[in-house]
Chain A
Amino acid sequence: MSAGWFALGPVGVALAVSFAAAVVAAVVGVFTVLRGQAFAGHALGDISGAGGAAALLFGIRPLAGFVAMALGGAAAMALAGGRRIAERDLASGVVLGAGLGLAALFLYLDATMSGAGGAASTVMFGSMFAIPPGMVLPAALCAVAALAAMAALARPLALIAVDPDLAASRGVRVRLVGFAHLAVLALAVGLAAMSVGAVLATALLIGPAAAGLRAARTLPGAVALAAAIGVGASWGGIGLAYESYGWSLGWGGRHGWPVSFFVVALVVAAHAGAGLAARMRG
């Protein structure tokens, strides 16, 4: 089994890493949507892009770059964040601005110092078929850590989502749990950013979770459905992108369509389908 991991081709690596990313993003995403933290989640994804760019610059592992920068962003948000969603979103936005400012700088230096001109596209939109096979094991470890943390955090987080005051009155340490959630969120978007790119990590984080919450009746049901949708969209996207090398559609000829496009299309379709299902059920 473990020997097989290292023998995977690009498609196998993409399937493995995106599986881990989709499951973690979906599980964390459900609580993120519940708490109205979609913007923070998206912001951490973008910020992690700065880490990706820095990793290119300093020649360190991209995953380490993505995750470290997202964790730094999460810490800054937790420090600045307010109680109301509006103020929390503002703090997220400002941290995002600073993170993107750094991303701009690192990408500029990437381009001028190492001549990696396409870095902006790669970091921001991902290149799933270019993930090195050595990434599978660290990605899997990250995923397991994130899932374990979520299992510990699930109940207090659900309580906080219902009402922070209520949670506090039951002895939940709201700030601490909030920060822990942001940290796991950072891990999740770091992973997702690896596969679909920093900008589109939001698709894996928010889309499946929102669809799961719409269609399922219970929280565990929503988490399971979200994970299924996330994995389905990622694998479906990879399959379609692989297929698309044979298509002669589009201006570019035999280029292959980007994985990110298919993943997002499938996620959005699932979200719309969940809405329909919820409405038909009444």
Chain B
Amino acid sequence: MSGAALALEGVAVGHAGRAVLSGVGFSLAPGSFAGLIGPNGSGKTTLLRSILGLVPLLGGRVAIGGRGQVGYVPQSIALDRFMPIRARDVIALGLDGHRPGIPLPSRRRRAQVDEMIDAVGAAGFADRRVGDLSGGQQQRVMIAHALIRRPDVLLLDEPLASLDLRSVAEVVALLAGLAREEKVAVLMSAHDMNPLLPAMDRIVYVAEGRAVAGTVAEVVRGAVLSALYGAHIDVLRVHGRVLVVAAGGAPHGHAHDHAHDHAHDHSHDHDEDAMHVVRIP
């Protein structure tokens, strides 16, 4: 598809030659906001890392449109509150972090960083240590870090994983707005699609080693997900939330594994949201 910011065709990804996900194909237009949804361990992170080129593709093709720039927000940062790196420094590293040598003071660089700080609403904490910030604030900083080079595609790995409910809504709204304004195609992974529903115009749903993509209305349907999971799946809409339900026990013990996996995640308080495949006895 010409003019796409990101296009995948028959992509297979995995580790050590073993595919965890195959036959992935979708494309995102500039300015679109897409969710990469699926249970933990379904290959979301591996797919993102493969699009970035950090893991070799096992098959298929990935095409980046425009100038071919990809921005990336990893799931968490490894700095604690003792480290002398300000939010501002992290954002500036998005500009030239790959270059050798110490950065020389430059008015242009500073202006670019300030502009990005405003764009993500980080002015209030730009000069604080990044390890000292809350999860939501850190996500804003990392989004600014990824966007400062004006990438064509922005990939985010579970950016909502360790946020409280209010920050979740704020970060989603911020990303949707940035996608429109900056004409960047945003693809973010999440194990729960519900926070993304108000903003998401495309969904890539992965499960059982395969993926389906389209609009939410096209994909989040019983028939489509039943075909994906290879078992009967119902999609229930309750109080504006979507529940994906496997009747008579989840396929391949999936829901069970999933709930267990999630406990290893850092957000135990979200266990209920996480079980987007609910088993009905």
A interface list, Cβ under 8 A from B? 82-84, 86-87, 162-163, 165-166, 169
Cα A87 to Cα B79 with chains together (Å): 10
Interface SS of B by simple majority: loop
B279 → A minimal CB distance (Å): 22
14 more contacts with CB within 8 A, not counting A87-B82, A163-B264, A166-B268, are: A82-B80, A82-B82, A83-B80, A84-B78, A84-B80, A86-B78, A86-B80, A87-B80, A162-B264, A165-B268, A166-B263, A166-B264, A169-B263, A169-B268
Cα A82 to Cα B80 with chains together (Å): 9
Contacts of B80 in A (CB 8 A): 82-84, 86-87
Q: In this complex, what residue of A is CB-closest to B80? A: A84
B5 → A minimal CB distance (Å): 36
Cα A84 to Cα B80 with chains together (Å): 7
B78 → A minimal CB distance (Å): 7
User: For chain B, which range describes its interface: under 10, 10 to 19, 20 to 34, or 35 or more residues?
Assistant: under 10
- Tell me if B166 counts as interface (CB < 8 A to partner A): no
Cα A35 to Cα B189 with chains together (Å): 29
B255 → A minimal CB distance (Å): 19
- Tell me if B266 counts as interface (CB < 8 A to partner A): yes
- Residues of B60-112 contacting chain A, CB below 8 A: 78, 80, 82
How many A-B residue pairs have C-beta atoms within 8 angstroms? Tell me.
Answer: 18
Q: In this complex, what residue of A is CB-closest to B18? A: A282
Q: Are B266 and A165 in contact (CB under 8 A)?
A: yes
Cα A7 to Cα B80 with chains together (Å): 56
Contacts of B268 in A (CB 8 A): 165-166, 169
List the 4 shortest-distance A-B pairs measured between CB atoms, nearest first: A84-B80, A163-B264, A169-B268, A87-B80
Contacts of B78 in A (CB 8 A): 84, 86
Q: In this complex, what residue of A is CB-closest to B264? A: A163
Contacts of B264 in A (CB 8 A): 162-163, 166
Cα A86 to Cα B80 with chains together (Å): 9
Cα A166 to Cα B265 with chains together (Å): 8
Q: In this complex, what residue of A is CB-closest to B16? A: A282
Contacts of A169 in B (CB 8 A): 263, 268
Give 18 A-B contacts (CB < 8 Å), ordered by A residue: A82-B80, A82-B82, A83-B80, A84-B78, A84-B80, A86-B78, A86-B80, A87-B80, A87-B82, A162-B264, A163-B264, A165-B266, A165-B268, A166-B263, A166-B264, A166-B268, A169-B263, A169-B268
Q: In this complex, what residue of B is CB-closest to A165? A: B266
Contacts of A82 in B (CB 8 A): 80, 82
B269 → A minimal CB distance (Å): 10
Cα A136 to Cα B171 with chains together (Å): 63
Cα A45 to Cα B264 with chains together (Å): 33
Cα A162 to Cα B260 with chains together (Å): 13
Cα A83 to Cα B266 with chains together (Å): 14
B245 → A minimal CB distance (Å): 26
Contacts of A84 in B (CB 8 A): 78, 80
Cα A82 to Cα B82 with chains together (Å): 10
Cα A169 to Cα B265 with chains together (Å): 12
- Residues of B244-277 contacting chain A, CB below 8 A: 263-264, 266, 268
Cα A142 to Cα B263 with chains together (Å): 38
Q: In this complex, what residue of B is CB-closest to A169? A: B268
Contacts of A163 in B (CB 8 A): 264
Cα A165 to Cα B264 with chains together (Å): 8
Q: In this complex, what residue of B is CB-closest to A82? A: B80
Q: In this complex, what residue of B is CB-closest to A85? A: B78
Cα A84 to Cα B268 with chains together (Å): 19
Q: In this complex, what residue of B is CB-closest to A168? A: B268
A108 → B minimal CB distance (Å): 34
Contacts of A83 in B (CB 8 A): 80
Write the B197-232 contact mask toward A (1 if CB under 8 angstroms, else 0).
000000000000000000000000000000000000
A214 → B minimal CB distance (Å): 16
Cα A166 to Cα B262 with chains together (Å): 10
Cα A82 to Cα B268 with chains together (Å): 22
Contacts of A87 in B (CB 8 A): 80, 82
Contacts of B263 in A (CB 8 A): 166, 169
Cα A162 to Cα B266 with chains together (Å): 12
Cα A165 to Cα B82 with chains together (Å): 21
Cα A162 to Cα B264 with chains together (Å): 8
Cα A87 to Cα B82 with chains together (Å): 9
A165 → B minimal CB distance (Å): 6
Contacts of A162 in B (CB 8 A): 264
Contacts of A165 in B (CB 8 A): 266, 268
Contacts of A166 in B (CB 8 A): 263-264, 268
B16 → A minimal CB distance (Å): 9
B124 → A minimal CB distance (Å): 25
B130 → A minimal CB distance (Å): 14
A171 → B minimal CB distance (Å): 13
A18 → B minimal CB distance (Å): 39
Contacts of B82 in A (CB 8 A): 82, 87
